[in-house]
Chains A and B, each alone.
Chain A
Amino acid sequence: MIGLMKSMATTMKHALDGTTFTVEYPEDAPDVSPRFRGVHKFSQERCIWCRQCENVCPNDTIQIVQDDQRNGEQYNLHIGQCIYCRLCEEVCPVDAILLTQNFEFTADSKDEFVYNKEQLKNVPWYKGIDPLESRNPDRGAWIGEGDGEVDYQ
């Protein structure tokens, strides 16, 4: 019986202390950490169309179309298929693709999650956080600094 009493007392203590750990989203939007990986943002100005991101992507989420002069024409990214591993951001030499903190995205069908470069450009910052700044100086840690072939296509 003592055990039962202890259990009952524990839950009652929680009921009476009045604290809650759930929040009233969306009024009380959570703070996400600077490293959080959300929807991508793409900058055509920065991009040099080296296709390294397309190459490193583990599940072929990024699709790049170039003309015969190797100028970039399309940059498509399926944000519903993406596994948010951040390898594209890591591998990008010019910070043209970034993962924002934005985790809020909806669509009526899966197809609508295929973002082209315009849509990717217009992805809003979450709470105005620019990961490029907020992740400094952490971004200095870079993979693939060692020797070996660099595949710039």
Chain B
Amino acid sequence: MGTVQLFPEFVSETLGLSGVLGDVVGSLVAAAVVGNIVLAFTGVAGPWAKRKITAAFTDRIAVNRIGPFGLLIIPAAAVQLLAKELIVPEGVDRPTWDLAPLVLPASALLGFSVIPMGRLGPVNLQIADPEVGLALVFAFASIASISLVMAGYASNNKYSMLGGLRAVAQNLAYEIPLIVTAMSVVIFAGTLQTSGIVAAQGDVLFSVVGFDVPTWYAFVNPFAFVLFLTANMAEIGRNPFDIPEAPTEIVAGYQTEYSSAYFVLFYLGEFVHIFLGGAILAVTFLGGASGPGPESIGFLWFVVKIWGFFLFTQWARSALPRVRIDQLIEIGWKGMLVLSFANLVLTAVIVGVIA
């Protein structure tokens, strides 16, 4: 791989810059564009799409007053949330308390740097394509749990503390199956490079009445897909694994004491995290940006896939109960871990035999 021009290179070439200056400007511009795309997703998702989707599942109408389909609720909600008073409780451990809401969205946004988001016209929306891309993504994503612990510990609140500790326990238990399952994909693809994994899914698995079913790993190994999906839900802390927040049990978990802009950052971070989860899923199992039509609209397919994942998290939220903390740990260590290793070994054997 590596023959495809990356987004920063495209920017510096378009601007006619070269050398270090070109690299810096290109990277900054590319990062700003990708970051803003992702933030725009969350902006739409948080105040508007989430409400609309939840409302559809619960037979309600939801936001419909401001603007067409209530879309102007997005700026309204932004102003409202940012205009609120930032309440700093007594006895919080600063600056840990202030850093925690920055770390969460930052970690999730960083993950997007190596995600191949597909082409939009002449532009290939990928900032970097290192050879250890997939490992890097998981590394970035797991910084999030540090943020949750920081928030939980620094808030000087028992509910926050419980939430923070739950977050660690949960992430430890599910990160390993998540990565081990992803490794089975790596065995198939033979590379850790994200663009390589996507490219490896470009063949035709079989054809059904004129339809070409691609070699997306979700079709090649559905078992691993389900495992990965489950572990991913736990990793991003959505139902049935929304233990660290668990409203109705521990109020709002680690974010109980946060308000105003800090709360927005957490909220944002969670949504970026969901989208990052969707992006990882799309890259490893759903063929990245591939889909019918010309390659130049690949980005749109990518958007469809990550929004599909977002929809799925909301769907699960409307229907599934939350598991208990001890059950969660049990499922993680005794179930998921074993299954993911079994999957890895099996994949390795199969790939070894075929190759």
- Judge A-B direct contact (beta carbons within 8 Å): yes
A residues in contact (CB < 8 Å) with B: 4, 7-8, 10-12, 14-15, 19-22, 24
Asked whether any CB of chain A lies closer than 8 Å to the CB of B64, the reply is: yes
State how many angstroms separate the Cβ of B59 from the closest Cβ of chain A: 5
State how many angstroms separate the Cβ of B130 from the closest Cβ of chain A: 38
B299-332: which have CB < 8 Å to A? 315-316, 318-320
A9 nearest in chain B by CB position: B319
Contact A14-B57, Cβ < 8 Å, known A4-B320, A7-B319, A7-B320: yes
B57 contacts A8, C-beta separation under 8 Å: no
Of the A-B pairs whose beta carbons lie under 8 Å apart in the complex, a sample of 29, sorted by A's number, is A4-B319, A4-B320, A7-B320, A8-B316, A8-B319, A8-B320, A10-B319, A11-B57, A11-B318, A12-B57, A14-B56, A14-B57, A14-B58, A14-B59, A15-B53, A15-B56, A15-B57, A15-B315, A19-B59, A20-B55, A20-B59, A20-B60, A20-B61, A21-B59, A22-B59, A22-B60, A22-B61, A24-B61, A24-B64
- CB-defined contacts of A15 to chain B, threshold 8 Å: 53, 56-57, 315
- CB-defined contacts of A12 to chain B, threshold 8 Å: 57, 315
- CB-defined contacts of B55 to chain A, threshold 8 Å: 20
Q: Is the interface of B mostly helix, strand, loop or mixed?
A: helix
B53 nearest in chain A by CB position: A15
B56 contacts A21, C-beta separation under 8 Å: no
Greatest chain A CB density within 10 A among B58, B318, B319 is at: B319
- CB-defined contacts of B58 to chain A, threshold 8 Å: 14
State how many angstroms separate the Cβ of B265 from the closest Cβ of chain A: 30
A20 vs B56: C-alpha distance when bound (angstroms): 8
Q: How many A-B residue pairs have CB under 8 A?
A: 35
- CB-defined contacts of A8 to chain B, threshold 8 Å: 315-316, 319-320
A11 contacts B315, C-beta separation under 8 Å: yes
A36 vs B342: C-alpha distance when bound (angstroms): 65
A8 vs B319: C-alpha distance when bound (angstroms): 5
State how many angstroms separate the Cβ of B56 from the closest Cβ of chain A: 4
B61 contacts A11, C-beta separation under 8 Å: no
**Known contacts A10-B319, A11-B319, A14-B56, then 17 further A-B pairs from the complex at CB < 8 Å, ordered by chain A residue:** A4-B319, A7-B319, A8-B316, A8-B319, A8-B320, A11-B57, A11-B315, A11-B318, A12-B315, A14-B59, A15-B56, A19-B59, A20-B59, A22-B59, A22-B60, A22-B61, A24-B64
- CB-defined contacts of A20 to chain B, threshold 8 Å: 55, 59-61
1/0 contact string of B43-62 vs chain A (CB within 8 Å): 00000000001011111110
- CB-defined contacts of A14 to chain B, threshold 8 Å: 56-59
B16-45: which have CB < 8 Å to A? none
A11 vs B59: C-alpha distance when bound (angstroms): 9
- CB-defined contacts of B59 to chain A, threshold 8 Å: 14, 19-22
A24 vs B63: C-alpha distance when bound (angstroms): 11
- CB-defined contacts of B57 to chain A, threshold 8 Å: 11-12, 14-15
In order of increasing CB-CB distance, the 5 nearest A-B pairs are: A7-B319, A15-B56, A11-B319, A11-B318, A22-B60
A21 vs B62: C-alpha distance when bound (angstroms): 11
State how many angstroms separate the Cβ of A83 from the closest Cβ of chain B: 30
- CB-defined contacts of A19 to chain B, threshold 8 Å: 59
A22 vs B64: C-alpha distance when bound (angstroms): 12
A24 vs B60: C-alpha distance when bound (angstroms): 10
